[in-house]
Structure 1
Amino acid sequence: MSTLVIVVIDGFGVGAMPDAGALRPGDLSADTCGHVLDHCRAALGRPLRLPALGALGLGLVRPHPDLARRTDRPVAVGRAALGYPGADTFAGHQTMMGADFSRVTVAPLAGHLDEVSGALKAAGHLVEPLGERPLLLVDGAVLVHDNLEADPGINWNASGRLSDVSFDRILSVARTVRAVAPVARVIAVGGHADRTLTAYVRDGDGGTVGLDTPASGFYRNGGLQVRHLGASLDHTRQLPDVAARAGLPVTLVGKAADILACDAAVRRPAVATAEVLEHTLSAVRSAVQAGRGAVRGGRGGLVVANVQESDLAGHQQDTERFGSVLEQVDVGLAELTGLLTGPGDRLIVTADHGNDPTVGHAHHTREYVPVLMHRPDASGIERLPDAATLADVGATAAAALGLDPAELTTGETLLSGSSGRSAGPL
């Protein structure tokens, strides 16, 4: 009858993984949490107000003078390696829910222009190269290009201005590209920009070329529409589907509603942090009420929420905005822990990668992420082993819900006294 909530603070890393410098040597200094705390103290003249994250044990995972170094809450704390190549929101969430993304293909668009162009032409589209640059202009309005916000070759985008083309048309282009793309994700993006999108094209790392989406104004101007088309995987062996089959209500909030598959889930897409938190709290209130009304046949439920504005602040290299988002999230976490007080109720706070706004570029950073678990019916603090993959977070959540972690494609439970491991290809 328990309720389990996973809150993903997008881009909130706690220090570089050993291979973080493989693409950009400077990324070995990445530390999103520590650098945001340091910068905000200097800029604001005070430490960030993060009492809920402190009570959840963040200071035990990433020691810092501005974080409490102990807590009297019954928590389990640790950190997780990513378990997939690069640093990417889609791959991070799919892995966290139990998919095996360890062998995702990394492929810049430049190596597949002929194949993609041929598929689009066969589908009836007008396809033009953009000068000598390795990206495509489709129907005079949609750019097919490398995604510059993830590591080179992880994702491709199909982007258009909604004043020029409908989102359905952009999505149609993206689906045709997805059919021949070897990469983890093809993303359809529609938004509003003051100038034509070709004005925002720039070179990325590793020979990639694409749209500078933050510079285009898509994130600032309202009306953003996004659809993530992922590589083929068995969604029935991910946590949301496994929970739904067991009769648990499943709610996906924020970006999680856009990128996770579960036919039975209630979806609450949102970008604004206040809206993400309100949807999450509303879902938890309903789940807790149902779980405690078990005499009427009620169950608790699973809620997975993504806070995206932290990641957007990282891309914009806006450290103070990142800190402001963290303070806003902290207030929401305090409310969540106040709701999740029943036997078996759990809150897991984690991330999908890093996005250090001080590291000198606008890309994700390959960092460990925190794993902070609120467990009101436990006693004391449990220090978790370093997780080899975010899939271990999903397996731990499954076990906490009384589900069999072996139903997931991969992942191992982290808590002592839990068991269950599964492994296998996608």
Structure 2
Amino acid sequence: MSRTVIVVIDGFGIGAMPDAGTLRPGDLAADTCGHVLDHCREALGRPLRLPALGALGLGLVHPHPDLARRTSLPLAVGRAALGYPGADTFAGHQTMMGADFSRVTVARLAEHLSDVTAALKSAGHLVEPLDGRPLLVVDGAVLVHDNLEADPGINWNASGRLDDLPFDGILAIARTVRTVAPVARVIAVGGHADGPLAAYVRAGDGGTTGLDTPASGFYRNGGLQVRHLGADIDHDRQLPNLAARSGIPVTLIGKAADILASEAAVRRPAVATADVLAHTLEAVRAGVDGLVVANVQETDLAGHQQDTERYGRILEQTDAGLAALTGLLDRDGDRLIVTGDHGNDPTIGHAYHTREYVPVLMYRAGATGVKLLPDAPSLADVGAMAAASLGLDLG
């Protein structure tokens, strides 16, 4: 057995997939990595400091003048298509871990208001529409609405201010919505807003209506709590459960702790990048063989905020953590896989995810040379690589 660590840099794409313009034609120009590098060089007067990502081969799969093209590390590097419709964190992680997520049900909340209202009322909640618009106010405090940060109809949210009620109350409402929701995710979101949530409701694309979460201040004001309630899929065949059944310890960190299913896993939920990296380093320093899956979420949040400089700062912070991880994974057979789940180009002109290829950068302790991988058709290939390093077969 060995130590295998997957670090998902959320929203870190390296160029548009051929079908990226199907929903938004402008997305064919998406390049999260390249545009962040270009913008930050101009804004900061220097290139981003990403020596670890350079050493891990990012410049080999995304040729950019600010990225190193040479490395002395033993690597296998390439890029992966997403392997699922749209560009979504939940679907991306589930696909990566081995679930068949090729069919995602798309539905606007407006099409299911009666079912959602009935379920919430049966659970004892007070439910009313907000000013005649197709979203619901539950118990006078929580908005149930279309998610405006993913492609239209992929996800619904239950959002509330933690000043008005504890997160457990928001989560309970989200769980009730989940019982009747046909969409990929119902997301419970609690935070501290700049004002009443109704002031930040707007129309989105494709007939959606919801809370403009970035504008509300939830991402800026600290204390953010999020729980992702996914569609019913077969988790038993996914990598975390397969590893656990084989006696391999599993640790899930950051957003991965919220959206991946494994009762046996140690969970370390966190949003702040410093906390995600600290938990990941702690898991590796423990010296126990096993699987660690970590998600760096704040890159994705910066993309949604269209804050390119913040995205660059988080990349630099992540890079320092990757350098430390590489130094710790020193046993023959240890593996570090750095990838993404979709793109989120902060320069593209909207706050949605972008449908991009993602890097697949695998450090192979004890190996030699650099192996260039062909384009993978799906993020499932990333999970299969991790499974192989642990002596498992995802099938």
Give matches, 1:244-283, under 5 Å.
244-283=244-283
Unaligned stretches of 5+ in structure 1? Answer: 291-299, 407-426
Residue among 336, 352, 362 paired with 1:363: 352
Does the CA contact (< 8 Å) of 1:253 and 1:268 recur in 2? Answer: yes
- Alignment of 1:336 onto 2:333: no
Unaligned stretches of 5+ in structure 2? Answer: none
What is the distance in 1 between the residues matched to 2:313 and 2:170?
33
**TM value normalised by structure 1:** 0.91
Give matches, 1:20-169, under 5 Å.
20-169=20-169
Amino acid at match of 2:318: V
SS of residue matched to 2:129: strand
> What residue in structure 1 maps to residue 335 of structure 2?
346
Shift of 1:132: 2.9
> What residue in structure 1 maps to residue 191 of structure 2?
191
What is the distance in 1 between the residues matched to 2:339 and 2:168?
33
Moved more, 74-83 or 211-220: 211-220
Residues 369-420 of structure 1 show CA distances to partners (whole Å, capped at 9, x for unaligned) of 00000002222111111111111111111011111222xxxxxxxxxxxxxx
Shift of 1:165: 2.2
- Alignment of 1:393 onto 2:391: no
Amino acid at match of 1:91: A
What is the distance in 1 between the residues matched to 2:274 and 2:126?
41
Amino acid at match of 1:112: H
Residues 306-328 of structure 1 show CA distances to partners (whole Å, capped at 9, x for unaligned) of 00111111111111111111111
Shift of 1:125: 1.8
What is the distance in 2 between the residues matched to 1:45 and 1:168?
45
> What residue in structure 1 maps to residue 202 of structure 2?
202
What is the distance in 2 between the residues matched to 1:165 and 1:285?
38
What is the distance in 1 between the residues matched to 2:34 and 2:307?
15
SS of residue matched to 2:337: strand
What is the distance in 2 between the residues matched to 1:193 and 1:346?
41
Does the CA contact (< 8 Å) of 1:396 and 1:405 recur in 2? Answer: no
What is the distance in 2 between the residues matched to 1:340 and 1:7?
13
Structure 1 residues 318, 194: closer, same or farther in 2, change over 3 A? closer
Residues 5-44 of structure 1 show CA distances to partners (whole Å, capped at 9, x for unaligned) of 0000000000001111111111110000000011111111
What is the distance in 2 between the residues matched to 1:212 and 1:236?
35
Give matches, 1:405-424, under 5 Å.
405-406=394-395
Does the CA contact (< 8 Å) of 1:30 and 1:367 recur in 2? Answer: yes
> What residue in structure 2 maps to residue 211 of structure 1?
211
Residue among 358, 368, 377 paired with 2:366: 377
Shift of 1:215: 1.3
Shift of 1:149: 1.0
Does the CA contact (< 8 Å) of 1:319 and 1:358 recur in 2? Answer: yes
Residues 57-81 of structure 1 show CA distances to partners (whole Å, capped at 9, x for unaligned) of 1011010011112222210011111
SS of residue matched to 2:388: helix
Shift of 1:345: 0.2
Task: Quote the sequence identity (%).
Answer: 81
Residue among 301, 322, 340 paired with 2:311: 322
What is the distance in 2 between the residues matched to 1:340 and 1:123?
49
What is the distance in 2 between the residues matched to 1:124 and 1:273?
38
Does the CA contact (< 8 Å) of 2:120 and 2:177 recur in 1? Answer: yes
> What residue in structure 1 maps to residue 300 of structure 2?
311
Moved more, 32-41 or 105-114: 105-114
Amino acid at match of 2:347: T
> What residue in structure 2 maps to residue 416 of structure 1?
none
Residues 275-334 of structure 1 show CA distances to partners (whole Å, capped at 9, x for unaligned) of 111110010111xx23xxxxxxxxx11110000111111111111111111111111111
Residues 339-393 of structure 1 show CA distances to partners (whole Å, capped at 9, x for unaligned) of 1111110000000000000000111101000000000222211111111111111
SS of residue matched to 1:405: coil
